[in-house]
Structures are given as structure tokens and as C-alpha cells.
Amino acid sequence: MRHRKRTAKLGRTSEHRTALLANLVCSLIKHRKIRTTLAKAKAARVVADKMVTLGKKGQEKDSSIQCRRLVAARLQQQPRHQFAKHNGVSGKVRRDEWRQNEDVVRILFEDIAPGFAERNGGYTRVIKLGRRRGDAAEMAILEWVKDGDTPVRESKTAPKAKASKAEAVTEEVVEETTTEEVAEEATTEEVTEEATEEVASEEAAAEETAEEPEAKSDDEPKSDDEKKSD
């Protein structure tokens, strides 16, 4: 029975899983950031944190060699000392390049571990990226935590700041609404004035049209009855 054992099997045998996690952690040490599935990132994060703990412990002279051997065994990295000349490049130059870019143990103990001297755990971070196209696997980025990254603590003055921001937003909204209302009132007044002017012009035109027929009636010839009465 596997009581109290929460090892992520990742659908692999123990040998395959050990080699997979070792490769992931080696890539993380070399490149400082890797992109993989969420399950693999969480499993590799545990191994990476343990390697950093050994790297910090290896800063002491008494346990330096022992910690380096443990890290090399866990990450399946064998030390290399002999490099043959290749394509005109001497063995010494090739060895220096390998130590600078490929020697995982040296990079961990000399470059990464000293940066976490004041941090007690939590050396890595997992950032979710969503699901991958094709098989819909959850993807994530596994990276080292930087020096200035610290958890944000909420202060007591935070709600006041939020309230002041909310008040400022409400004041801006009120000002915008008042300006809009004033603009609407001005437009309504202009529309009413234009409407009254149009109505007055129409009434004046109607009066003029009513007076014109009367003037024409005076010029019309008189009938026979009217001539007799005259």
C-alpha cells in the first residue's frame, strides 16, 4: 500500500521518471527557465528546491565535496576532465566552454545557490499558461525566483487608498454627468429657440398670405347690381 506517498508517477516507470526530472532540472539550471506541462513542472520543482538546498549547504568547506557528489548523482551528471582537440579548437578551450555553459554542478554551486543565501525555501516559481492545442494539456513555466521578488502584504492603509480611488472615480463621474447635463440643457434651449423662431416665421407668412386676397378684391370689377346702386 502507498499510504502517505504522494510521488507523481507521470505515467512512467521509476527509472524513466528519475531521468526525466533530472533532465528538466538540468535544463532549468542552464537556461534559468523552462516550459513544460503543469504536472512535470510541479514534480521538477521539488527536485530543484532540494538541489538548491544542497548547493547552499555545499558553500561550507567541510561538506562541499559531499554535496557536489550528491547533486551529480541525483542529476545523473558525470564530471568531465579530458577534452580532445576538435575542428581546430584546443581541448582547454572546449573544457572552459563546457564548464561555463554546460557544467550543471558548477553553475548550481557558484551562480545559483549564492543568490538564495538569505531565502529559506521557495526557490522556484510555477506560472500557468493555459492549455496546449492538440491534447489540451495544461502548460506552465518553471523559473527561478528573483532576488527582489517578495510576497506582497496588505497594509491597513490599503482600504483607505482604495476608498480614495473610488471617491476620485465617483467625482469624475459626477463631473462628467454635470457637464453632459449642461450640454444637453444648452442644446435643448437652442432647439426651443429655433422652434419658436420657425413658428413665428410661419405665422408671419400665414398673415401675409391672408392679407393678399383682400387687396386683390378691391381691384376686381364691380358687378351690375353694385353699379346700379352707385
Residue range 51-68, pLDDT digits in tens: 999 999 888 877 889 999
CA atoms within 13 A of residue 228's CA, in its CB half-sphere = 3
pLDDT band with cut points at 50, 70 and 90 for residue 172: low
pLDDT of residue 143: 95
Question: Which H or E run includes 128?
Answer: strand 124-131
pLDDT of residue 50: 94
Q: How many CB atoms lie within 10 A of CB 30?
A: 14
Query: CA 40 to CA 140: how far, in whole Å?
Result: 9
* pLDDT greater than 70 at residue 169: no
* pLDDT greater than 50 at residue 158: no
CA atoms within 13 A of residue 152's CA, in its CB half-sphere = 2
- The model scores a pTM over 0.75: no
Residue range 179-226, pLDDT digits in tens: 566 566 656 666 566 666 666 666 666 666 555 544 444 455 555 555
pLDDT of residue 125: 94
pLDDT band with cut points at 50, 70 and 90 for residue 178: low
Per cent of the chain over pLDDT 70 is 63
The whole-number average pLDDT for the span 34-41 is 95
Domain ranges of the chain: 14-144, 166-221
H-type alpha helices, the chain? 14-31, 38-57, 64-74, 91-101, 104-107, 158-219, 224-229
DSSP 60: S
DSSP 86: B
User: In terms of CATH architecture, what is 14-144?
Assistant: Alpha-Beta Complex (3.90)
Does residue 83 or residue 213 have the better pLDDT? 83
pLDDT band with cut points at 50, 70 and 90 for residue 96: confident
